[in-house]
Structure 1
Amino acid sequence: MIVVNNQYPGPLIEANQGDTIIIHVRNDLDSGTGIHFHGINQIGTIWSDGVPGITQCPIPSGGSYTYNFTIQQQSGTFFWHSHLGNTQADGLMGPLIVHNPTDVYIRGRDYDHERVLFISDWKHLTAQTIINGTFTEPFHTKYAGLSLPDSILFDGAGVFNCSQAPTNAHCQQKPLPEIQVQPSKKYRFRVINPGTEAFLTVSIDNHPLNIISADETEVLGPFGIHRVLVPIGERYDFIIDTSQGKAGDAFWLRAQFCAPNFLAVPPGDTGLGLAILRYVEDGMAPSHQLPTTNDWSHPHVNATSCPDLTSDALVPAIKAEAPQTVSSTWFLDSVIGFPLTPQNVTILDFYFNNVTWTNLPYDPMLFRMHKGLSLNESIVAHTVFAQSGAADIIINNRDVTIDHPYHLHGRAFYIVARGQGALTPESYAKLPPSSSVITRTTYAILRIRTDEPGVFALHCHLGLHLVHGKMAAIVVQPQAIQNLAIPDAAIHLCDSCNFPPGVTVNTPGHG
């Protein structure tokens, strides 16, 4: 496990909109790292986006680096995590909350208390062990089994059945994680799924959920729903009313992993993580009684079923109109492939436009563009939006058995259309204003503004998909990138003295 300041999850970063955040990172790991602030747009500080190979070189083992950026025009629920070698899966992450006095939902009026809740998948094998296995063992015998979590963790705590532990393994049975609340109050839960493999459906027995925020966007419901799917990298805020019982009562808080991205689910594996929501009063003696409550009966959720909220159900509380005209478009076809390694082992790789990303952590794309160089189209699918304005990114998901939680760095976007099938330039031009319900083989059109120069990552947030190449890049205003005032400290991370022995700018690494 990787811990930050001796804790997992790492420490909460809490700020107000307009604050400048300064984070000193000392890397005591044996390998390089970088810290990404998930959802933060980094306006004017793209070099602080924290992605080795894209916007920085790794912070070397034994070295230090300081991130310095201002939160502009954003508030809500975010988190931070490492962005190299899937070490996020080993624990290198924590929450980031940004407040704003003009938020629609205000503490003291709309709710009494708030609680950040990290719910994630966990595996006993380290990320590097899993990565090594997926590159050296045949796909059909290795990859599928390693895609299943061993546990579901609530704020870093969870339970594993010690009877299933390997022989001679040290396993101590722990009590279930517990969240204490007072009766007759309203609690805002900021639920974050920082995991790397599992979509999670979250519910609390007897407690309807009133959704008030999706990622950083405040929304007008839906209210009174029984459960919400939180894909990897996403966040939902909801309010519950703790008037369902009295002090001493307890209810199950459930996190169910679902399997559109798992290629094998062992028989009898329910994929259910449990925590306890317990009603307490000040000075009350602690109780260890387990809940006896039942799950909501509808809709049914299990390890192979995970109903999602549709975007039509999520109405922004503050209306924001997408740009009406675009100056550029980019079509991305998402596919999987089964290449052979030099050892003639068939593995699973992920592609955008028939390119699987090869990460060069010590030759970051932002710095190449800053020097006036171009990107290598054979190692990363990318596009250039040269002028200010707006652009459409059309993503065709041709991976018929896999749902991808795509994440775009540094740019807010509008979903202006989505539907079944795949879009060509011709069919894109003929699109009607409305679109059909999303399914696995889908298109989605993301409309972004192109008024902030930089290199922005677009990738799947499933850890092993990223490691196996599911990354693309967007270059905005390349001429302006050459004029960016990148701090010397960021540039010096790429000095050869910070490279591990035997590593050069052409040495590939895992995303």
Structure 2
Amino acid sequence: MASMESRSLPRAAATSMALAIAIVFLIYTTERLGDAASVEHTFMVSQVKMTHLCKETLVTVVNGQLPGPAIYVTEGDSVTVHVVNKSPHNITIHWHGVKQWLNCWADGVPMITQLPIQPNQNFTYRFNVIGQEGTLWWHAHVPFLRASLHGALIIRPRNGASSYPFPKPDREVPIIIGDYWQLDLAQAARRMMHGFLFSFANASTINGKLGDLFNCSGVPEDSYVLDVVPGKTYLLRIINAGLFSEFYLKIAGHKFTVVGADANYISPYTTDVIAIAPGETVDALVVADALPGRYYMVALPNQAPLPDTQTPEYTTRGIMQYSNTYSSADDPAGLMSDRGVEEKEEEDKGSSGDVPVAPEMPDIHDTITSYYFHSNLTNLYQTVVPQRVDERLFIVLSLGSICQHGQSCRRGDHNETILIATMNNVSFQDPTGKTPLLEAHYYHTGSVDLMQELPDRPPRAFNFTDEALIPYGPKEMRLEPSYKATMVRRFRHGAVVEMVFQSTAVLQGDSNPMHLHGHNMILLAQGFGNFDAAKDVAKYNLVNPPVKNTILVPNLGWAAIRFVANNPGVWFMHCHYEFHLTMGMAAVFIVEDGPTVNTSLPPPPAHFPTYCGHDNNLLPDELCLQTKKDA
């Protein structure tokens, strides 16, 4: 581990260290990357007027579009994105799933890794995409605003599509499932953070289109339309950018072959339904092998059944439509020859008219389909699963409450309390200082060492999945009292960490998509009910478990994961349901430096805005370093 003195080097020494790291990295990238390209974008964040559902709404977007621009890179490329903030909101951009190897400074979490980009300011993100292929995405990492500030980040193999470990598709299509809000998103976030009424979206979307299930004075909203050619294969790069809902996606008369998830290749898995939670990505092949016609692409949100609180959930749909001509020449491989008579007859119903064929969807309260989908995912290649475990954590994901005024209050359905989300009975408190945690950690100038440590386990054991705890009542009220703190957990460099995430029934029965920044997680096993090490460890897949950046912990169930803490820096771990994140289901993981230069976090990049501690001024890093040295 680097000493404290190394954190207060003079500018010249700091520059020398940065140069040494740059040389090491240059040698590494020269060997690995060869002719890697530099990809550059400018993101202009502003508010535009959009009219849907008969109402004009100010929506915060990038470059005037929803979803925002897709970024296409080849593995090994370097990426530069200039963010110009012309909106009235503080903004950061998180590159969801990008490992940011030795580059925590570009991770984009306000007051965790950087100061937010204030209105009329700009900030440049620079990062490399190394050792990853597949579908990731980018989004704002400020409460609720990722609903409209998001886009795809597609990483292609360095040898082109011909090197995919599955049949080369004829076309690749991003499919982003999201929300449309008529409410002011920043205001909705403030209301939730302060324990007031929950707010909900007005519609769901596919690639920004609401679809014909929604209308304005009887006129259907525009639908997303995917034009296909008979016999061709399409790689759908599916992203759930929604705030609150896991979605089921189906296309009438067609099947998916899942080949990737969270930018990792998956053993090909054929299914007629995809389950995708907020934060997750799924790559799936679809062959246009139905009779010519129009077929609905339906995204249906699921939610926990009663006695869980039922919230507004909106199904949306787009259309997959074939070109107008079809002949045997379009089906040289006889793709239609093995399709059942009943299936063909169902497709014929919609192929001759204007009304698309609709798929039969799961029930909105069907959570088993999600469990089966995620349980069927295995890694295409043998996964290197660390056998030695250095640290074990049992993380209980729950709801609780704190008193609005004073130390005591009536629990249950009373306005004396504020509802919060917790990990091991602690709700994450956003840092209250003026220095981001990463800066305080790097320079040893803050109080990171004095912050609350994420406990290894909850303060008490109980029947975590007892459905009697879902409604307000005496049974759950005993478990409600919680507290808020800026929770951190330190790991030595290279430590192998095993975590079991346990969902609870306290005031809810939700699943929980848990996302870890800066690292991938190996999903060893999952199940319903309470985790029991005596029997459940035997279920661990130690051969080809899926590797993901977002793990969906099943409704009233558990998931066991391992990861190697080998990327030094300060990393956010949180639930990707926005209401859980806003209410505090989060923690900060600090990975210490390793013993060498190329296992230690480099200094902040040039012109990285840093708070220097006087008069609220933001200064470029060279002036802040001089200030810190003089101090």
Q: 1:97-496 to 2 correspondence within 5 Å?
A: 97-101=154-158, 106=164, 109-135=167-193, 142-143=197-198, 146-147=199-200, 149-159=201-211, 173-223=220-270, 225-246=271-292, 249-260=293-304, 263-265=308-310, 271-280=314-323, 290-296=354-360, 301-306=362-367, 307-308=369-370, 309-342=372-405, 345-360=416-431, 362-372=434-444, 373-374=448-449, 376-377=451-452, 379-399=485-505, 401-422=509-530, 428=533, 432-434=537-539, 439-477=554-592, 484-492=602-610, 496=616
Give TM-score, length-normalised by structure 1. 0.84
**1:385 CA drift (Å):** 1.0
Residues 162, 154 of structure 1: CA spacing in aligned structure 2 closer, same or farther, 3 A cutoff? closer
Deviation at 1:430, TM superposition (A): 7.8
For 2:87 and 2:219, the matched residues in 1 are separated by: 27
Which amino acid counterpart does residue 303 of structure 1 have in structure 2?
I
1:288 shift after superposition: 13
Kindly state the Cα deviation for residue 109 of structure 1 after the two structures are TM-superposed.
4.5
Change (3 A) 1:483 1:411: closer
CA contact (8 A) 2:90 2:118 kept: yes
Residue pair 1:352, 1:381 contacting (<8 A) in 2 also: no
- The superposition leaves residues 165-223 of structure 1 with CA deviations (integer Å, 9 ceiling, x where unpaired) of 8xxxxx97533222211222111111111111111100000011111111211112211
Q: Where do 1:65-80 residues align within 5 Å?
A: 65-80=123-138
Distance 1:30 1:288 in 2: 50
**2:204–2:316 contact (8 Å) kept in structure 1:** yes
Q: Calculate the TM-score normalised by the size of structure 2.
A: 0.69
Any unmatched runs of 5+ in structure 2? Answer: 1-58, 326-350, 407-414, 453-483, 542-551, 620-631
- 1:201 maps to a residue whose letter is Y
Shift of 1:152: 1.5
Q: Deviations over 1:68-93 (max 9, x none)?
A: 0111111110000000122112x111
Do 2:275 and 2:373's aligned partners in 1 also have CA atoms closer than 8 Å? no
Tell me which moved more, 339-348 or 364-373: 339-348
Quick check: which has more Rg, 1 or 2? 2
Task: Give SS of 1:131's match.
Answer: helix
Alignment length, in residue pairs? Answer: 472
**Residue type matched to 1:117 in 2?**
I
Output the CA distance in 1 between the equivalents of 2:72 and 2:279.
Answer: 18
- Aligned-residue Cα RMSD (Å) equals 3.2
Structure with the higher fraction of residues in helix conformation:
2
What's the counterpart of residue 87 of structure 1? 145
Residue 256 of structure 1: CA displacement? Answer: 0.4
Report the CA distance shift for 1:411/1:135 in structure 2 as closer, same or farther (over 3 A): closer
Of 153-162 and 41-50, more deviation after overlay is shown by 153-162
Determine the structure 1 residue equivalent to 2:463: none
Whole-angstrom CA distance in 2 between matches of 1:270 and 1:53: 32
Query: Percent of aligned positions with the same letter in both sequences?
Result: 23
Distance verdict in 2 for CA 1:334–1:181, change over 3 Å: same
CA distance, structure 2, for counterparts of residue 388 and residue 164 of structure 1: 56
Contact kept, 8 Å, 1:261 with 1:403, in 2: the verdict is no
**8 A Cα contact 1:136 1:345, kept in partner:** no
Give the SS at the match of 2:403. Answer: coil
Query: Tell me, what secondary structure is at the counterpart of 2:449?
Result: coil
Q: CA deviation at 1:29?
A: 1.5
The runs of 5 or more residues in structure 1 that have no matched partner are: 166-170, 500-511
Kept in 1, the 8 Å contact 2:157–2:164? The answer is no
Show CA shifts across 1:443-469 (max 9, x none). 322211122211111100011211111
Q: Name the stretch that deviates more: 150-159 or 359-368.
A: 359-368
Q: Which amino acid aligns with 1:376?
A: M
Q: 1:369, 1:482 within 8 Å by CA — same for their partners in 2?
A: no
> In 2 relative to 1, CA 488–187 (structure 1 residues): closer, same or farther, beyond 3 Å?
same
The change in CA–CA distance for 1:438 and 1:387 in structure 2 (over 3 A counts) is closer
* Inter-CA distance 112–104: structure 2 relative to 1 (3 Å threshold): closer
Does structure 1 conserve the Cα–Cα contact (< 8 Å) formed by 2:193 and 2:582? no
1: distance between equivalents of 2:391 and 2:92? Answer: 31
Moved more, 386-395 or 23-32: 386-395
Q: Secondary structure at the match of 1:338?
A: strand
